[in-house]
Every structure is written in structure tokens, then in C-alpha cells.
């Protein structure tokens, strides 16, 4: 698909100026600092970045499920055709009461989430079947028999055999890979329009990981859902995504269609991430380059590029003197780096 075609796809979720501030003992942490992105209907957006850059906070903010100390602002416009705000206008999910009826009817039913650790999604007290059926009864049908039928179908779709027996087992009786599959079946049992998958396969071994990703793709094709895929693994991004947002220190530093990110990366951070990516058939004796230095903690950060200390191309007096605006490289490619900004003699 061309970049233009990706761009004209209708957005389902439009995030603007999302900020999450957390009051710490030594100041305010701007953990998410003015994030903008769109997730298009039926497409996959990858959110990639090193540990601690704010991926999970961002993805949980979309459903207002961050803990209380996370002070959140901005807009998360939900442009579903079936869930309009007043008079068909987009609904700002951040304006809803996080414990209210409206957001609860969207969570699970319209926008489902899967987490890195499936145990957080299941209670150890109830059987897997009971918990999946419960979700279906809340969101889809009041008929228990029908709910069970849907649950069994979903378990089979995610490749769990002997579903009747598995239905009555408890989470601890499932292996890690099976729990992950069961969580996916629970998330998908209500045909969500959007699936938020936060590191859905990190805890799994590579074979199961490949199976789970394949399954998500198949189900996406079948149900036409959009996916926000959070990962620190560029291999998974290449495999799964249509578009990519690269996150660093609470900001999106580069955003583009997937091919553009891999073939024409601009931000020194994106380039660094790509250099640290293992390649099939690569020289195994050669050590991978990792990006030097650690991600700083964004407490009381002055307005400057967060990557400054680690960047080989930094320009003193420019990159450490002001915050970095986003520059549009092409219709669908933006980057936050002074190397490409008109004001400072960029390309
Ligand atoms: N409730 C909280 N209180 C204080 N700090 C928090 C809280 N939640 C997250 N943080 C901090 O905010 C930053 C971003 O956290 P987040 O979990 O979003 O990172 P991440 O990109 O998902 O990282 P990972 O790849 O390790 O999952 C981190 O520095 C984290 O320590
Ligand atoms: Mg995380």
C-alpha cells in the first residue's frame, strides 16, 4: 500500500496533545509529553521505544485505566460510527468519568486490551470459561447458553484444543502461552473495533510468540479490527504494522508508514534502534550496536531534546536550548529533530 493510501484511511482514534504528569518527591515527571497519533480503522499502528519511555502509560490512558496519580490531559477522540458523541461528533474518551457507565460500555466491548502478563487479566478464583463468558454476558448477549457457545468458539479460534475441558479449568492449569491465548480470546470475544496490545508476546517463547502474532493478524483480517501494538521489538513491528510511532522520553520522535521507518529513518534515535536490531543471516560474531547511555528520567526537564545527551549528531546551543517542534518530511512522515527543521539549517 502506498503512503498516500495509508494516510487516507479513516481514523478510528485520534490522540492529540496527550500529557501524563506524575507528582514525584523531587518534582513533576512529564512521563507522556504531548503525544499525537491516529489509529486507522482496520490497521495496525506500532508504538515502539525503549523501556520507560511511556508506552504503557500512553496505551492505558486511551481507556482511562492508569492509576490515580497519573494526571492526564489532552484529547482521545473516538470516531466510531456506532459510538457517537452528541449528534455524531467524536467522543473524547478523556472527558468521560473513568468509572462511569459510558467508558465501561466501551472498554472490552469496543476497545479491548491485552497485557504483557496474562495473570493480570484473569482472576485465579474463577475458571477461564467463566471469565470469558462473563465478559460476553456483560457486553454482547444476556443468553448464557449463547455466551458459552461464543466463548468456546473463541477458544477454538485461538488454537486451544479440547475447549470443553479447558473451559472448566482455572488459570493456573493453563501454560503461559495458553493463558495468553485465552486472554486474547477474551479480548476478541466481543468483536472490538480496536485492540490495544501492550507487549502481548514478550513473556512467551519465540514459537508461541510467532503463533500468537499470526493469530492476531488472522483475526484482524476476519474482524477488521484496528490494533495498537506496543512493543520494544522492531522485528515484531516489521511483521505486524502498517504505521509506526517511535517514542522516546514521553514524546513521539518519529512517525511514518512501516516501510518508510525501515528504509528512510530520520531521527538519530530511530536509526540507533534500527542498528540495534538483530538481522537474520547477519554476522553473528559482530556485536549489535546498542544506543549508548540510558533513558533519563523526565523530572524537571528543561525544554530541550530529550535525546541530546545520547545523540551523535547533536548541535550544541540548538538541541539543548529549546523544545523540538515536529517537522513534516512528507505527507505521512514526521520527525522531531532539529536536523530536519527549517529554522536550523536542516535538510
Ligand atoms: N504510577 C506511576 N508512578 C510513578 N512513576 C510511574 C508510574 N507509572 C509509570 N511510571 C514511570 O513512567 C515512565 C513510563 O512508564 P511506562 O510504564 O509507560 O513505560 P514503558 O515505555 O511502557 O516501559 P516498558 O517497555 O518497560 O514497559 C517510567 O519511567 C515509569 O517508571
Ligand atoms: Mg510498558
pLDDT above 70 covers a percentage of the chain that reads 90
| Measured distance CA(114)–CA(121) in Å, rounded | 8
Grade residue 2 by pLDDT with cuts at 50, 70 and 90. Answer: very low
Q: Is the CB of 51 under 6 A from ligand 1?
A: yes
Grade residue 287 by pLDDT with cuts at 50, 70 and 90. Answer: low
pLDDT greater than 60 at residue 3: no
pLDDT in tens, 256-274: 999 999 999 999 999 999 9
Residues whose CB is under 5 A from ligand 2 (ion)? 56
Give residue 58 CA to ligand 1 midpoint distance, Å: 10
The ligand placed nearest to the CA atom of residue 296 is: 1
The class (CATH top level) of 3-252 is alpha beta
Q: Does the global pTM surpass 0.85?
A: yes
* Max CA separation in the chain (angstroms): 68
pLDDT in tens, 30-49: 999 999 999 999 999 999 99
Amino acid at each position: 500500500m502506498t503512503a498516500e493510501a495509508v494516510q487516507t484511511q479513516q481514523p478510528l482514534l485520534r490522540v492529540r496533545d496527550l500529557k501524563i504528569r506524575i507528582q514525584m518527591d523531587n518534582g513533576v515527571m512529564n512521563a507522556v509529553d504531548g503525544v499525537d497519533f491516529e489509529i486507522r480503522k482496520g490497521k495496525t499502528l506500532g508504538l515502539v521505544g525503549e523501556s520507560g519511555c511511556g508506552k504503557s502509560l500512553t496505551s492505558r490512558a486511551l481507556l482511562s485505566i492508569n492509576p490515580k496519580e497519573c494526571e492526564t490531559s489532552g484529547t482521545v477522540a473516538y470516531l466510531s460510527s456506532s459510538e457517537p458523541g452528541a449528534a455524531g461528533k467524536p467522543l473524547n474518551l478523556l472527558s468521560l468519568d473513568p468509572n462511569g457507565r459510558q467508558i465501561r460500555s466501551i472498554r472490552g466491548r469496543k476497545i479491548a486490551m491485552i497485557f504483557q502478563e496474562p495473570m493480570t487479566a484473569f482472576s485465579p478464583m474463577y475458571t477461564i470459561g467463566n471469565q470469558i463468558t462473563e465478559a460476553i454476558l456483560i457486553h454482547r448477549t444476556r443468553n448464557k447458553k449463547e455466551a458459552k457457545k461464543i466463548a468456546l468458539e473463541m477458544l477454538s479460534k485461538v488454537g486451544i484444543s479440547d475447549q470443553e475441558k479447558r473451559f472448566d479449568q482455572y488459570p493456573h492449569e493453563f501454560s503461559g502461552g495458553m493463558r495468553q491465548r485465552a486472554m486474547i480470546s477474551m479480548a476478541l470475544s466481543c468483536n472490538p473495533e480496536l485492540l490495544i496490545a501492550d507487549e502481548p508476546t514478550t513473556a512467551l517463547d519465540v514459537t508461541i510468540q510467532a503463533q500468537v502474532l499470526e493469530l492476531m493478524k488472522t483475526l484482524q483480517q476476519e474482524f477488521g479490527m484496528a490494533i495498537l501494538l506496543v512493543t520494544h521489538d522492531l522485528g515484531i513491528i516489521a511483521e505486524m504494522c502498517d504505521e509506526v510511532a517511535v517514542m522516546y522520553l514521553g514524546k513521539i520522535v518519529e512517525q511514518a508508514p512501516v516501510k518508510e521507518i525501515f528504509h528512510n529513518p530520520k531521527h538519530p534515535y530511530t536509526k540507533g534502534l534500527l542498528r540495534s536490531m538483530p538481522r537474520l543471516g547477519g554476522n553473528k560474531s559482530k556485536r549489535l550496536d546498542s544506543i549508548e547511555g540510558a533513558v533519563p528520567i523526565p523530572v524537571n526537564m528543561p525544554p530541550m531534546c530529550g535525546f541530546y545527551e545520547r545523540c551523535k549528531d547533536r548541535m550544541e546551543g540548538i538541541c539543548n536550548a529549546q523544545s523540538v517542534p515536529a517537522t513534516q518530511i512528507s505527507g505521512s512522515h514526521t520527525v522531531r529533530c532539529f536536523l530536519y527543521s527549517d529554522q536550523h539549517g536542516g535538510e
